[in-house]
Structure 1
């Protein structure tokens, strides 16, 4: 299949951000051209991200990176999905001060003590899962229900690997703790994206991402086609896809998918 000329049936494209569009520092080469090509073909393009923040916060980040907002039709975030689930009642919080301010602006009520639920948006810069050993044990002893607002385990940030909320949630589950996961690969975020895109026929949807546990596993379980970006978080690895499912193609980067000029 010529992936630079996608079949016309794909009317809704669900595109991952981190590792595909940018690395937190810059927009990858060729990405604007790819997005512009899809838009010129009349396709709907939604960014679907496991970021634990609001869509407005992610839009602000893309603006700062210089990506033209006319190149997409909206943003779906794991943070918004998780926020909707805990809104209206006080919960504990784990994440950066920036994450907290953004989610509180959206209605998150943070309890610093005595909570039975916790919104986990991530770790502070430089922290490791091991740094949370005592807190994880305390939460488990209190049977705290953790809402994981970012299922990603790691991402590339300015050339560095950064540990995400999913790694902390994994460690908590290993202790027997209860976790509710939001974002890819879980179906709620895809349901929301298809509703936003005005699509009900899953055969018209194409997911694009660089995460095997998130983007590819999510597309496979949801029953939609996908393209795997091999140069992202799994660069240099031999990809292993869900049993009985394969993406329609593998590309090194999103720029490769720019429609061919005629």
Structure 2
């Protein structure tokens, strides 16, 4: 689909489907909101695959793809909706493996420790660590970046690399908007610290997803036949633009409040106006992911 200066308003995936062989789809904010699955989204991807397309879920979750798959099963997202899952947790694990002889300090909740499973990792305090992995806030409902300022300052004094396992700044959980590891990483970067971002909007996660899709299909897939779907301008859309692929922004995600969208509202011209003012512009806009209106 040729990009235009103004993103197209679309009511469903159906009219776009013939233009693409592969969809790289965000998970949180598109397939579910952290509490409830969006049935129309799973149905849309299932129908796209039924027509011969492939779907790779690309998530900034700081957990392995298998763990995200198990979560999707609990939400009852149909497995017919996707071929594979690639997460920032997967890329973080690769970064850890490359530094397996180094001491790591972990910032983040216990639920994210699965990325270390099976690895002979040595953990240590910041004062003895060679690098830091940040997967998020210990308590994302009550903490802010300021609660981590002293740790970041200690890291900066030692010039430690931070591996950010979730580049998202915020995430929607039910009706709450909560901070993610990307917020801590951004603060560290602003202090002059070095950060490796393991997920979107950076190219490695897209390269891995495209390679997996090409391997599954037995042929390479040109970028002009790839569509990225997501709800975040900074990660999903910026990542797609940077990687050179088309993008579909789901408006009823983390930007819904900013856009003034309420239940029952439909994407309209004012959403196009808002998209035009962003640093990067999606190819198309949709209310929520669905096959057709």
TM over 0.5: yes
Q: 2:121 aligns with which of 85, 106, 109?
A: 109
Q: What residue is the counterpart of 2:289 in the other structure?
A: 254
> Is the CA contact 2:62–2:88 (under 8 Å) kept in the aligned structure 1?
yes
Which residue, out of 52, 70, 75, partners 1:60?
70
The separation in 1 between residues aligned to 2:57 and 2:156, in whole angstroms, is 34
Say if 2:165 is the partner of 1:155: no
1:180-230 deviation per Cα after TM superposition (whole angstroms, max 9, x unaligned): 111111000010010000034101100000111100001101110011111
Alignment of 1:224-235 (within 5 A): 224-235=245-256
Matches of 1:39 and 1:86, distance apart in 2: 34
C-alpha separation between the residues in 2 aligned to 1:180 and 1:36?
A: 34
Stretches of structure 1 lacking an aligned partner (at least 5 in a row): none
Q: 1 CA distance for matches of 2:42 and 2:120?
A: 34
Matches within 5 A, 1:122-141: 122-125=136-139, 126-141=142-157
Q: Does 1:49 align with 2:59?
A: yes
Q: TM-score, normalised by structure 2?
A: 0.83
- Counting matched residue pairs gives 255
Q: Distance in 1 between matches of 2:191 and 2:235?
A: 22
Structure 2 residue corresponding to 1:168, chosen from 170, 177, 184 = 184
Contact 1:149-1:165 at 8 Å conserved across structures:
yes
The 5 Å alignment of 1:52-91 reads 52-87=62-97, 88-89=100-101, 90-91=103-104
When residues 194 and 173 of structure 1 are mapped into structure 2, their CA distance, relative to the original with a 3 A threshold, is: same
Q: Distance in 2 between matches of 1:121 and 1:181?
A: 11
1:99 partnered with 2:144? no
**Secondary structure, aligned partner of 2:14:** coil
Aligned residue number for residue 5 of structure 2: none
- Whole-Å Cα distance in 2 between the matches of residues 10 and 232 of structure 1? 23
Consecutive unaligned residues in structure 2, runs of 5 or more: 1-7, 215-219, 260-273
- Structure 1 residue matching 2:47: 3-state secondary structure: helix
Q: CA shift at 1:110, angstroms? A: 4.4
Secondary structure at 1:6's aligned position in 2? helix
Cα offset for 1:249?
1.1
Residue deviations 1:97-125 (CA, integer Å, cap 9, x gap): 0101x112152724122102011111122
Matches within 5 A, 1:201-240: 201-235=222-256, 236-237=258-259, 238-239=274-275, 240=277
Cα distance in 1, alignment partners of residues 200 and 151 from structure 2:
26
Report SS of the residue matched to 2:138.
coil
- Offset at residue 142 of structure 1 (A): 1.3
SS in 1 for 2:27: coil
TM-score after normalising by structure 1: 0.92
Note the aligned Cα RMSD (angstroms).
Answer: 1.6
